[in-house]
Amino acid sequence: MRFPTLEQAFQPLICKGSGFERGRIQGSSFQKPLQLCFNALLQSETTRLFMPRFWPESWARRQLFWQSRLQFQAPLQKTHPDFAAHLQGLAAGAELPENLFFFLLQFERLLSRLHFQMHTGLILMVPPRFSATQEPMLLHNLDHPYFLKAFGLFRQSEPDQGLRSLEMTLLPMSGTYTGMNEAGLAIAVNAGFQQQANSSPFPLSLKIQQLLQQCEKVSEAISALQTQDYQGGGLVALMDRQGDMALVESANGKFAVRPVKDQLLMVSNHYQITEMLSENIPVNAYFSLRKNLASFAGKRVREASESRLDRIAQLMGTRVHFHAEDLLDYARDHGDIQQACDNTICRHGSYYETTYSALMQPRSRRLWLTLETPCEQAHQVYQWY
């Protein structure tokens, strides 16, 4: 189900001006959906995992909100004042307490401690050599918990200082995991199944938003990512208009880069670069009933990540040329028996569902996008200026 207020006909919400003003535009444009989004988040069984046991729910929520504000407010204002202002603008525009938005930042951090992720996904990068039109392409299927599925946002950011960018994100978020800027830098990020979280409180989504505002080339983005001033591990696919491509993996203070030249790149949620393999959650790790949701108990943590990667490799086979339409077909794949599940590229699981699917062509500034699961709604093309 989608709320009528969220239907945008694939015209981006244009957020222009200072950090506060961009946040205010986003918040005021979706007041009712933002209320529904936070209601869904707070009433979810996942949030209840983080509440003190045997406390009245109202007390437990206040405790979570207080901890979240304490964790993020001062550090965010000190090191990322633009994002702090954006969050304040979001809250003001939506007429909601700032604590709710601080809690969303904390929610991602808390999930990683349970070997859950705020998002999972599948990325495919096609270099010019394998593209039928000689244009590099980047496909990203991104999944969120089912209770956040209806709250996708297609946004165009135009900061006072920095580059304009198109982003796919969630309504209450300042950052993004998928985007392309006017200089032709395209970025897609999957959370990494790492064993330990980084010490920084800031989610990777804020860092990606910063890269889109400041970087024009893959080399610049790699240098900026090396600071690792963000929380949690990630697998970051980078592509620019010149055709340079790279995979960046980070976890627990470690950092590795794989340049991608004349080869296809497929990325899910476990690390691939040799130096990072030791950071992976073990192949035989399983979710426990005591610490995780009942629907995950007994499942292997890396099962979906490995299955989806195997499936995309099977679909691509030995082909040497790919059209955009080929990649869009892969995005809605339901496996050999055409039955959608947790392990299919187009994900329909008991917890995670594909929230949006985007195919970026940075050289021509073209974007193919659906804010639904790709099997339910066809991608629509958006030509950016």
Looking at the structure of the chain, the number of domains it has is 2
Digit-coded pLDDT (tens) for 177-218: 999 999 999 999 999 887 665 566 788 899 999 999 999 999
Domain final residue pick, 113, 137, 155 = 113
Domain final residue pick, 113, 144, 160 = 113
Digit-coded pLDDT (tens) for 266-320: 999 999 999 999 989 889 988 876 666 777 878 898 999 999 999 999 999 988 8
The percentage of the chain sitting over the pLDDT mark of 90, rounded to a whole number, equals: 71
Q: Output the pTM of the full model.
A: 0.93
Plot region of 361 (φ>0 → left; ψ -120 to 50 → alpha; else → beta): beta
- Element spanning 107, H or E: helix 98-113
Same domain, 198 and 104: no
Same domain, 82 and 149: no
User: What are the residues facing 385 on neighbouring strands?
Assistant: none
Digit-coded pLDDT (tens) for 323-371: 999 999 999 999 998 999 999 999 999 899 999 999 999 999 999 999 9
Q: Give me 235's structure tokens.
A: 């697998």
Domain with 142 in it? 120-383
What is the full DSSP assignment across 45-80?
HHHHHTSPTTS-HHHHHHHHHHHHHHHHHHHHHHH-
Q: How far apart are the C-alpha atoms of 54 and 18, rounded to whole Å?
A: 43
